[in-house]
Amino acid sequence: MRARSPITRVDGPTLVVRTELVAADGTELPPLEVSLPRAHADLLDPTASPALPTLATVAAARGEDLEVEGPVDPAARDAAMAVADLLARRWGTDPIAVRAAEEAPAARTGTGVGLFFTRGADSWSTLLDLLDAPPPARVTHLVSVFHGPRPTDAPLHAELEAGHRAVAAELGLTLVSLGTTARDLLDPLQPWGAVVGPVLVSTGLVAAAGMARLVLSGVNRAAVPMGNGSDPALLALLSTPATEVVLGNPDRDRLQRLAHILGHRRARATLQVCWEGGTAGNCGRCSKCLSTSSGLLLAGDPDHGGGFDVAPTPEAVRTVRLGPADTSGLAARLADELPPEHEDLRRAWADVRDLSAGAPPRARWGDWSPPGLAGPGVPTRVARALRATTGTADGPTPAPLGWRPGTVPLRPALADHDRVRARARRDLGGTRAWAVVEHHIRDDDRDVHQAVLAARLQAHHGPGTCYLPGILWAPRAAPGLDPDAVARLLATARARLWWRAEGDLEPLRVVEAVEHGLLPLQVMPDAAAHHLAAALDPPLAGLVVAESDVPGLDLSPAAVAARRGPVVEHLLRGSAERDLMAGAYRA
């Protein structure tokens, strides 16, 4: 591959350095163009030396020797040879030679420090470090690189640049906006992640006259070999006699960087990580947005969805597919460490990690349970119990939850036992007989059994407390009331009833009712009710109500209180922590 001598032209307010390329077979390749504002002409290095890292990367990807017609610093040529050799070995292409027809004079040594800056977590964390550094390590320039013809050609990039410029102005730094067409050459040959380091550094070197150092933030700690375009082993080859190339943030991983920026108001407010949303913001739906907003949650951000169009959801996370390097980085920590109150999100990241590694999603307690209404759902309860006893929320395939033989009971947590006993002693005299509290349809989109049950209870037992979805075709919409409000509703009643067509006692509904001082009662078709009651211990068998027995239920305060006491004591004989741990390892 031949690179002709670079030509610098003036294009309005922009300087464009153009290097025309010819393949080994004589085919004209797309030219390499790098642009910078005329206002920063004093930073321009017009020789062929800055282009060498990009040209060597293209040559290695094509498996062709590189002939450079323009003036080249011999040290830069030797560095380009080392880059090409490393990449050719990494990609399995033929070793190549780098030759230059003309030597360039040594570039002048400056005093500035430029940081490649995107407002992402990596570059923001590095910037915060460099702002605190004493001269000569303190940052002086923010370098923004647009991977298109020229920055002024892209309205989206102009919006992004405006955000960068505002940050630079607030911090008293100089913003240098560069553009490169390198991706036109490399995208057909190698993934962007494999070439990003050499391309960024090469583009930055075009405007590095007067800069003693260029800083590029890697995607992980320097001690973790990545084998990609920001690998420390590759970046170490890119320094020139005049400009040192430094890896920023060498000792922090991605999560630590997110935690770092939480302490800086401007950094958090201007965080920009999205590259798929097509807007100068964060869509909240792409893999980068989802991992970042979830990572902010893990880092302790109380407003982890702030700055994103939508907050992360388990459904959105499950659309993510990870590369080999991602499965051991932030995504792995999200899959293991998100706290119990975000267990649904943690499970989604664990499923993504497993699927990306070729393993099927694992079964977990509560996967098909209804959501919690007056407190945490089954996933959260399980995660708290398992973490308290095993240190991890994931274990072997669990046994089913329930109270029949071969199942694992769901009980109140140990810390709640005294509170549950106290509520079980509350006076029921001024309460209503019943409550039917559900926020979604249980069996299918148009099943109205819960509403029918409420109507029958009213007909036979007078007014009660009822909270049901009003849109039958949106059965899984989020509830309109928060857990505290639902708890206040439950406190108005003596017994909580719900419909279930088959199966065991609904574990979560039983525990929620008992935790709030109510008698739990599950209404079922007659045959299913008789079958289940026969399989349960006596205190629990009385919680199963045959459909035909609803009219004759005794829901008076005295009757409910008499039945509630034995149920509470039966449930509190064990603890969620002990039973769930035992169930996980005996399944």
Q: What is the pLDDT of residue 131?
A: 94
The tens place of each residue's pLDDT in the chain, 587 residues long, gives 999 999 999 999 999 999 999 999 999 999 999 999 999 999 999 899 999 999 999 999 999 999 999 899 999 999 999 999 999 998 988 888 999 988 887 766 778 999 999 999 999 999 999 998 998 899 999 999 998 654 444 677 888 899 999 999 999 999 999 999 999 999 999 998 889 999 999 999 999 888 999 999 877 776 555 556 677 888 889 998 889 999 988 889 999 999 999 999 999 999 999 987 777 889 999 999 999 999 999 999 999 999 999 999 999 999 998 876 565 688 889 999 999 999 999 999 999 998 888 888 788 888 888 888 999 999 999 999 888 888 888 877 778 899 998 899 999 988 899 999 999 999 998 899 999 998 765 555 456 788 899 999 999 999 999 998 765 555 556 667 889 999 999 999 999 999 999 999 999 999 999 999 999 999 999 999 999 999 999 999 999 999 999 999 999 999 999 999 999 999 998 888 888 887 766 54
Element (H, E) at 460: helix 449-461
Residues whose CB is less than 8 angstroms from the CB of residue 260 and which lie 6 or more positions away in sequence, other chains included: 125, 128, 252
Q: Looking up tokens 């605190």, which residue turns up?
A: 132
Q: Give the list of residues 6+ apart from residue 303 with CB closer than 8 angstroms, or none.
A: none
C-alpha distance across the termini of the chain, in Å: 63
How many angstroms separate the CA atoms of 554 and 564, rounded? 13
Q: Are residues 237 and 299 in the same domain?
A: no
Structure tokens that stand for 342 in this block? 């975000």
What was the pLDDT predicted at 386? 87
| 316, 214: one domain | no
| Pair 294, 338: CB distance under 8 Å | yes
Does residue 395 lie in a domain region?
no
365 within domain boundaries: no
* 368 within some domain: no
Is 401 among the domain residues?
A: no
Angle at CA 552, nearest 5°, toward 549 and 555?
A: 110
Q: Is 68 helix (H, G, I), strand (E, B) or coil?
A: strand
CA 283 to chain centroid: 12
Beta-carbon contacts of residue 16 (< 8 Å; ≥ 6 apart): 8, 9, 10, 33, 34, 35, 150
Is 6 a member of any domain? yes
Nearest alpha carbon to residue 333 among 346, 317, 315, 318: 346
Distance CA 508, CA 581 (A): 17
Tell which residue, 161, 162, 119, 133, has the closest CA to residue 261.
119
Predicted structure pTM score: 0.85
Domain count, the chain: 3
CA distance 59 to 86: 12
Long-range contacts of 356-360 (CB under 8 A, 24+ apart): 356/321, 356/322, 356/323, 356/326, 356/327, 357/327
Tokens of 113: 């420090």
CB 341 within 8 A of CB 372: no
Q: What is the CATH number of the domain that holds 464?
A: 3.40.50
Nearest to 505 by CA among 369, 414, 364: 369
Nearest to 561 by CA among 425, 418, 422: 425
Residue type, 109: T
Taking the C-alpha atoms of residue 1 and residue 292, their distance in angstroms, rounded to an integer, is 40
425 domain-assigned: yes
Separation CA 458–CA 446 (nearest Å): 22
Location of structure tokens 């980085």: 329
What is the sign, positive or negative, of the torsion defined by CA atoms of 380, 382, 387, 393? negative
**Domain boundary residue among 254, 283, 310?**
254
Q: Are residues 457 and 344 part of one domain?
A: no
| Residue 234 belongs to some domain of the structure | yes
Q: What is the CA radius of gyration of the chain?
A: 32
Q: 33 - beta bridge partners?
A: 18
CA distance 309 to 386: 34
Distance CA 13, CA 11 (A): 6
Q: Can you give the residue range of the structural domain that contains 498?
A: 414-571
Residues 237 and 321 in one domain: no
Q: Are residues 195 and 50 in the same domain?
A: yes
Query: 80: which residues sit within 8 A by CB, 6+ positions away?
Result: 52, 53, 55, 56, 66, 98
What order of strands is seen across the sheet that includes strand 519-524? 465-467, 432-437, 493-499, 519-524, 544-546
CA-CA-CA-CA torsion sign (158, 216, 198, 226):
negative
- CB 106, CB 138: distance < 8 Å: no
Residue 521's contacts (CB-CB under 8 Å, 6 or more residues apart) are: 495, 496, 497, 498, 543, 544, 545, 553
What are the backbone angles phi and psi of residue 212, rounded to the nearest 5°? -85, -20
CA 483 to chain centre: 26
Same domain for 317 and 418, yes or no, is no
26 lies in some domain? yes
284/272 Cα distance (integer angstroms): 11
Question: Quick check: 386 and 347 in contact, CB under 8 A?
Answer: no
Around Cβ 531, how many Cβ atoms within 10 Å? Answer: 13
The two tokens of residue 135 are 């001269």
Q: Please check whether residues 427 and 565 belong to one and the same domain.
A: yes
Residue found under tokens 């375009």: 229
Write down the pLDDT at residue 212.
93
SS3 247: strand
Residues 75 and 223 in one domain: yes
pLDDT of residue 349: 95
Residues 317, 232: one domain?
A: no
Determine the pLDDT at residue 167.
97
Burial code (b: 16+ CB inside 10 Å, e: under 16) for 130-151 equals beeeeeeeebbbbbbbbbbebb
What is the model's pLDDT at position 150?
A: 47
Considering the domain architecture, whether residues 449 and 351 belong to the same structural domain is answered as no
**Same domain? 249 vs 277:** no
Alpha helices in 119-191 (DSSP H): 121-132, 155-171, 182-186
Residue 548: CB atoms within 10 A of its CB come to 10
User: For residues 496 and 493, what is the distance between their CA atoms, to the nearest angstrom?
Assistant: 7
If asked whether residues 487 and 560 sit together in one domain, one would say: yes
Max intra-chain CA distance, the chain: 102
Helix (H) or strand (E) holding 7: strand 7-11
Residues 553, 487, 474, 462: is their CA dihedral positive or negative? Answer: positive
Token pair in block for residue 306: 């702030």
